[in-house]
């Protein structure tokens, strides 16, 4: 197995303190948003044998296992992260696999450079993801019932929002959500900025359930995404709870520290809360306009102590072990590749000791034993 040396991404929304606190390092004063663990070409983990991309390319069958290569090809199909949100991330959705392939091929045919700011599809893969809270974690996930969204907006008593309230109350669910989101994102920018300012003032005055939207508006003044955010469910995860974000589900992370895992893709369609490109027609084609419960996940324990976060995705499987002191070592050997990440305590796997924030890559079929005390997240695939 290989100890991983991982890159920390300094995105502007990142917390300046959360990842340093986990790692036991001094803050730099700069945002530290995400620590990437995996073989993503943008920031692959480094090992004593080279980058994880180089290690896998040299022997895909040996590193990933025969079954994983047959199912996913000669690449690690997931990316594991520690995510530390100090400010809201962009409001976004991800395409399903067919939409991603179609969109990628279309933009390739049209000759749009992959690194162009207005390109939507960086690759031909989907990007389902799971976020598991390490601290209290706030996010937005899926549409509210239109009548609930109408009540939330109506209580702000902002005249320019009243047409949206009427639409939400008058139309069937799908049509109501589609029409209002379309209207919000297509409105005159100056008019919408005034509406957002009025709404933000009202949210700050009302507090309570409105406080998250006042905070969003503080970070993104005048952004149409502030109103779009009020159409979504606000969720506060407790440590150990998780959210699964499937294709077409609008979502945003607002604040907190968590472990995130996703299919290895960069395909994001943004709805707002960002200075980046927002392709409204393509976004509206991808979004699933249906009210839904956020579906907070809690891990299901197996007899050997593994706690699994059940998702309908084969590209990744996330679980955790909470290991007491002086318990027998757990055998974690699998015929698939694994990344083990310590988030609390001090654990040992083989001759490698892991402190919080430290991780290892375990090739398929390599002997892997784990002992505590501590908490370890295990990322692998389903074959």
Give dist(CA 358, CA 376) in Å, integer: 10
Report the interhelical angle of 146-154 vs 162-170 (nearest 10°): 160
SS3 153: helix
**277 is known to lie in a ligand binding site:** no
Give dist(CA 231, CA 177) in Å, integer: 8
Angular region, 370: left φ>0, alpha ψ -120 to 50, beta rest: beta
DSSP classification of residue 179:
H
**171 is known to lie in a ligand binding site:** no
User: Could you tell me whether strands 269-272 and 251-263 are parallel, antiparallel, or unpaired per DSSP bridges?
Assistant: unpaired
**Active-site residue identified among 46, 75, 144, 270:** 270
DSSP classification of residue 74:
S
User: What values do phi and psi take at 266, rounded to 5?
Assistant: -115, 20
Residue 159 pairs in a beta bridge with none
Q: Which helix (H) or strand (E) holds 66?
A: helix 66-72
Query: Is 270 considered catalytic here?
Result: yes
Give dist(CA 343, CA 120) in Å, integer: 34
Q: From 185, 219, 220, 217, select the one nearest 203 (Cα to Cα).
A: 217
**234 is known to lie in a ligand binding site:** no
**126 is known to lie in a ligand binding site:** no
Residue 341 pairs in a beta bridge with 359, 377
User: Which positions make up the binding site?
Assistant: 92, 94, 129, 251
User: Which positions make up the binding site for Zn(2+)?
Assistant: 92, 94, 129, 251
Query: Which residues are marked as active site?
Result: 270
């Amino acid at each position: 197995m290989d100890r991983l040396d991982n890159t920390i991404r300094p995105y502007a929304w990142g917390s300046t303190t959360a990842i340093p606190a986990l790692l036991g390092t001094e803050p730099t004063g700069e945002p530290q948003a995400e620590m990437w663990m995996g073989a993503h070409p943008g920031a692959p983990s480094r090992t004593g044998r080279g980058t994880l991309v180089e290690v896998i390319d040299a022997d895909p069958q040996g590193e990933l296992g025969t079954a994983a290569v047959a199912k996913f090809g000669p690449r690690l199909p997931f990316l594991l992260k520690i995510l530390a949100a100090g400010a809201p991330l962009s409001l976004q959705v991800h395409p399903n696999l067919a939409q991603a392939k179609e969109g990628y091929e279309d933009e390739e045919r049209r000759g749009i450079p992959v690194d162009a700011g207005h390109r939507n599809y960086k690759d031909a893969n989907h990007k389902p993801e799971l976020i598991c809270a390490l601290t209290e974690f706030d996010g937005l996930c899926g549409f509210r019932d239109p009548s609930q969204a109408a009540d939330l907006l109506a209580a702000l008593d902002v005249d320019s929002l009243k047409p949206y309230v009427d639409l939400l109350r008058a139309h069937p669910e799908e049509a109501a959500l589609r029409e209002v989101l379309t209207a919000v994102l297509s409105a005159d920018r100056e008019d919408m900025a005034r509406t957002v300012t009025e709404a933000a003032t009202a949210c700050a005055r009302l507090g309570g359930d409105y406080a998250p939207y006042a905070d969003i508006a503080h970070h993104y003044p005048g952004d149409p995404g502030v109103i779009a955010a009020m159409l979504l469910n606000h969720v506060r995860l407790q440590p150990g709870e998780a959210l699964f974000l499937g294709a077409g589900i609008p979502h945003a992370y607002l604040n907190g520290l968590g472990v995130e895992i996703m299919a290895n893709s960069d395909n994001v369609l943004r709805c707002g809360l960002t200075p980046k490109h927002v392709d409204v027609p393509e976004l509206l084609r991808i979004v699933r306009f249906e009210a839904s419960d956020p579906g907070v996940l809690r891990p299901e324990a197996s007899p050997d102590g593994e706690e699994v976060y059940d998702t309908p995705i084969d590209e990744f499987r996330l679980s955790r072990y909470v290991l007491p002191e002086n318990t027998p070592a757990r055998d974690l050997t699998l015929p698939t590749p694994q990344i083990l990440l310590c988030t609390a305590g001090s654990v040992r796997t083989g001759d490698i000791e892991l402190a919080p924030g430290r991780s290892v890559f375990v090739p398929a079929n390599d002997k892997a034993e784990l002992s505590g005390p501590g908490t370890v997240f295990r990322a692998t695939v389903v074959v």
